[in-house]
Chains A and B, each alone.
Chain A
Amino acid sequence: MSENAAVPEILRAGMVRGDRRRLLVDRAFLTLCIVSAFTSVVILLVLIGTILVQGVTYLDAQFLTGYASRFPEEAGLKAALWGSVWLCGVCGLIALPLGVAAAIFLQEYSPRTGLASRVHTFIQLNISNLAGVPSIVYGVIGLTVFVRMFGVLGNPNQYDALVRIETASGSVVQGLVAQDDAATLVLDVLEVQGAALAEGADLPKGMEISAALAGKDAAALAATGPGDEVSLVLKRDFTLPLDLNFALEPVPEGVEPSDVRVRARVAENRPGTLTLLDPLRGPVTVAGEEVRSRSTVSVRRHEFQLKNGTTVGGDTYSIDAEELTVLRREGSPLTVPLSEVASYRAARPLELGSPDSLFYLRLPLGGSVLAGALTLMLVILPVIIIASQEALRAVPDSLRQGAFAAGATRWQMVSRMVLPAAMPGIMTGAILAMSRAIGEAAPLLVVGGFLFITFTPTNVMSDFAAMPLQIYQWASRPQEEFYRVAASGILVLLVVLLTFNAAAIVIRQRFQKPLQ
């Protein structure tokens, strides 16, 4: 007994079971190992294979140069491709210097004693924790901090007005104007009524509502007279050309004004009157007593001077014939009789430069390229810092000591010796971080990347689409045809990522000098 206890456990097991059985177990385990190791190869092959098979259908020049469309054969990736380029460019310009600098601080400027060293250790620990934060949480933070800027400066990307569209066949689509410029009116659909839209009407709110009323497309819609059936496809961020803008329901000849619904952006709101901004006809002023029911939903930030001398600030929630309801940051919504309002002022976003120029800045950032890029920066910053630190750590200490011995300051040592030596490693890490940024969809979804957009960004304040978002949008459509479009998008995304990875490998092998 005592002899047995002294023998190692493995040997004891061996003596009891016999060699043959052990060898059998060994063999079986090796087989299991090989099977599991090649499972990942099989998964990769199946993944790429299925995507290739589905994706080749729509992968052509048109796909790369066309914009989003509701017809699968016309759908293109151009806006998303350029959106991704802009996003990653801006993100890289901000994140790379910041990340590398933080890595240099952590690696080369580490204080050894006192409070500074505690802070240093804390930052180090903190960065590994930040790397584990889910990207969607960064999205939520980006939305609050960058897009809305805590709501202090108003909400630039908020809805302006409730819009109601009546189709010729009597169906009613109700939605919020998310954005309108000279050319388009973008709607967020809230509600659809009418049997003609029944197909797809059980889809969740905000998702696509497709209504195949007839074979005509939207372009033919303008020429459609009363009684005709039309094909109408509405979805989140549906873009409607202004000439089809029957949302504003202009007054037809011979109709009593009391039956007219006017729905437009609120331009001005004085006691007794409401001035609306009709993009086609300019300001329209309506007397208060002519307004029959709540006609406008607006969540734009306003300040109201009340007759009793107080000021109410907040997002106007609704204005109807008698009342104004203001949503305040704190507390419940405040309802004020219109007769109490003395004057009002719309809080405008802070602007710098012209919206058409390359250099244009607006606060708060809204769902812009800059806000998206800053959010992505939060996501990839820990990755860049950790990779750069590893590259710096690989630089031998003799280089540092040599530089110090020659009388260099710390920064001279870092900038002329350590950084050049670590550059290939830092570049590799940076490229891999950027490829993470290109494929990241969740934070952009929250920050407000557009899912349906037909232009490329002109400056950092432009709205954007991004490749992973576009893929998500196509993949979440109910029509199977769009799966193929999504697969084509994935192929393009994977090619971009492979290029990035190849570049990283080339840099790693070409420029990495042995530092001994």
Chain B
Amino acid sequence: MSAFPSAASVPASSPVESGVLRSRGVRRTVDGLVGVVLAGCGIFSILTTFAIIAVLLEESRRFFASPEVSASEFFFSGRWSPLLGAEKHFGIWPLICGTGLVAGVSACLALPLGLVTAIYLSEYAPRPLRAFLKPVLELLAGIPTVVYGFFALTVITPALKAAHEITLKPLAATLDTLPSWLAPDGLVAFIGRGIDSYNALSAGLAVGIMTLPIVCSLSEDALQAVPRSLREGAFACGATKFDVSAKVVVPAALSGIIASYLLAIARAIGETMIVALAAGGLAQLTADPRNQVQTMTGYIVQVFTGDTTAHGIEYKSSYAVAGMLFLLTFIVTLIGYQIMRRYREAYE
């Protein structure tokens, strides 16, 4: 065994040995120390994750240990009114519903628009146009979300109200003139009902604008990764550019596109400032985006900017909500990465 140099003595046999002999020990110590420090910085990220999980679990446990709360109510009840009223209700579903509504509206805007824009950028756009559009999308991606919230509040909501005035309201008025067996009063009232000052639609559209660059840039990366030969093969078969894009390139890049969708949805679920400004503060089970809703993030903001003490049940409930939020985004993100990794078509 002793005939073989041990791993530690390998540098000693290097050609520059004589020149560095004196400082070799010092150098190696420094090297080792630096390695440990760097590893510590790397491990810090694991500590962060553990801190997140530990804090959320521990505080949620306290929340569920409170006499006012039961886990079955939290997960299965449809009433959420922890801050107002004599009797407090902690059913998470209205918050999930609000979050889903906002994320759903945003998905309706961002997913198709983002994909088509990505196809255009990847397959169609001439170089100078691409050089112009890419920075525009980067700019959109760099705008702080509080700005989008402001935009939703001061531009999108008034625009939606104006649009409502000239579309749904006259439609309802017209329907009202019809006999009631043809147009039931309930339906007319539903169609004609106005848009709340705070509403899920406006917030969702703003979140959609915010997530658009994410969908677009990740989808475009996926489209660009499809090898040229596939396109050329399709063109050789007489396909039009649309055929190539829609029937060859997009299916080939589907895993990347779906992953981009999931990551955008995760961002939409976790978005805070837009919904805090534009979505309102009333937790309700509704599927009508004209209503005001409260999202999970919106509730957390409400708790921490309101007047709750560090011991109240409302305060603890925000940790349970944050835990749900973390879990939800974590799962969506994880699925996204898994799809990206596992189903990625490997072309060489």
Q: Which residues of A contact B (CB under 8 A)?
A: 8-11, 13-14, 22-23, 25-26, 29-30, 32-34, 36-37, 39-41, 43-44, 46-47, 50-51, 54, 97-99, 101-102, 104-106, 109, 119-120, 122-123, 125-130, 132-141, 143-145, 148, 151, 155, 158-159, 176, 188-190, 204-206, 236, 299, 315, 317, 327, 378, 381-382, 385, 406-407, 409-412, 432, 435, 438-442, 445-446, 448, 451, 468, 471-472, 475-476, 483, 486-487, 490, 493-494, 497, 501
Let me know if A10 and B239 touch, CB within 8 A: yes
Residues of B106-141 whose CB lies within 8 A of A: 112-113, 116-117, 119-121, 124-125, 133, 136-140
How distant is A381 from chain B, measured CB to nearest CB, in Å? Answer: 7
Whole-angstrom CA separation of A407 from B238 in the bound complex: 59
**Per DSSP, are chain A's interface residues mostly helix, strand or loop, or mixed?**
helix
Partner among A176, A204, A317, A501 whose Cβ is within 8 Å of the Cβ of B281:
A204
With contact pairs A30-B241, A475-B149 given, residues A132 and B330 touching in the complex (Cβ less than 8 Å):
yes
How distant is A389 from chain B, measured CB to nearest CB, in Å? Answer: 11
Contact of B277 with A by CB under 8 A? yes
Let me know if B38 and A132 touch, CB within 8 A: no
Kindly specify which of B42-50, B85-93, B168-176, B177-185 makes contact with the partner chain.
B42-50
Let me know if B277 and A137 touch, CB within 8 A: no
Whole-angstrom CA separation of A39 from B120 in the bound complex: 12
Residues of B40-69 whose CB lies within 8 A of A: 41-46, 48-49, 51-52, 55-56, 59
Let me know if B150 and A497 touch, CB within 8 A: no
Pairs A–B under 8 Å by Cβ, sample size 20: A10-B234, A13-B243, A30-B124, A33-B116, A40-B140, A50-B155, A51-B151, A102-B41, A109-B35, A123-B46, A140-B300, A189-B307, A205-B83, A407-B11, A440-B144, A441-B146, A445-B305, A471-B147, A487-B150, A497-B143
Partner among B213, B239, B334 whose Cβ is within 8 Å of the Cβ of A14:
B239
How distant is A313 from chain B, measured CB to nearest CB, in Å? Answer: 14
Contact of B309 with A by CB under 8 A? yes
Contact of B301 with A by CB under 8 A? yes
Let me know if B297 and A442 touch, CB within 8 A: yes
Q: Which residues of B contact A119 (CB under 8 A)?
A: 43
Q: Which residues of A contact B133 (CB under 8 A)?
A: 37, 40-41
Contact of B287 with A by CB under 8 A? no
Partner among B38, B146, B240, B310 whose Cβ is within 8 Å of the Cβ of A299:
B310
Q: Which residues of B contact A10 (CB under 8 A)?
A: 234, 237-239, 243, 247-248
Partner among A44, A104, A130, A446 whose Cβ is within 8 Å of the Cβ of B304:
A446
Let me know if A409 and B146 touch, CB within 8 A: no
With contact pairs A105-B41, A205-B307 given, residues A51 and B147 touching in the complex (Cβ less than 8 Å):
yes
Contact of B311 with A by CB under 8 A? yes
How distant is A362 from chain B, measured CB to nearest CB, in Å? Answer: 18
Partner among A9, A30, A40, A130 whose Cβ is within 8 Å of the Cβ of B49:
A130
Contact of B261 with A by CB under 8 A? no
Partner among B45, B120, B269 whose Cβ is within 8 Å of the Cβ of A130:
B45
Let me know if A132 and B15 touch, CB within 8 A: no
Q: Which residues of A contact B162 (CB under 8 A)?
A: none
Let me know if B140 and A43 touch, CB within 8 A: yes
With contact pairs A29-B246, A101-B41, A133-B329 given, residues A145 and B11 touching in the complex (Cβ less than 8 Å):
no
Q: Which residues of B contact A22 (CB under 8 A)?
A: 240, 242-243
Let me know if B306 and A472 touch, CB within 8 A: no
Name the CB-closest residue of B to A34. B120
Let me know if A494 and B143 touch, CB within 8 A: yes
Let me know if A446 and B300 touch, CB within 8 A: yes
Q: Which residues of B contact A151 (CB under 8 A)?
A: 310
Contact of B202 with A by CB under 8 A? no
With contact pairs A144-B55, A407-B14, A490-B147 given, residues A126 and B46 touching in the complex (Cβ less than 8 Å):
yes
Let me know if A188 and B245 touch, CB within 8 A: no
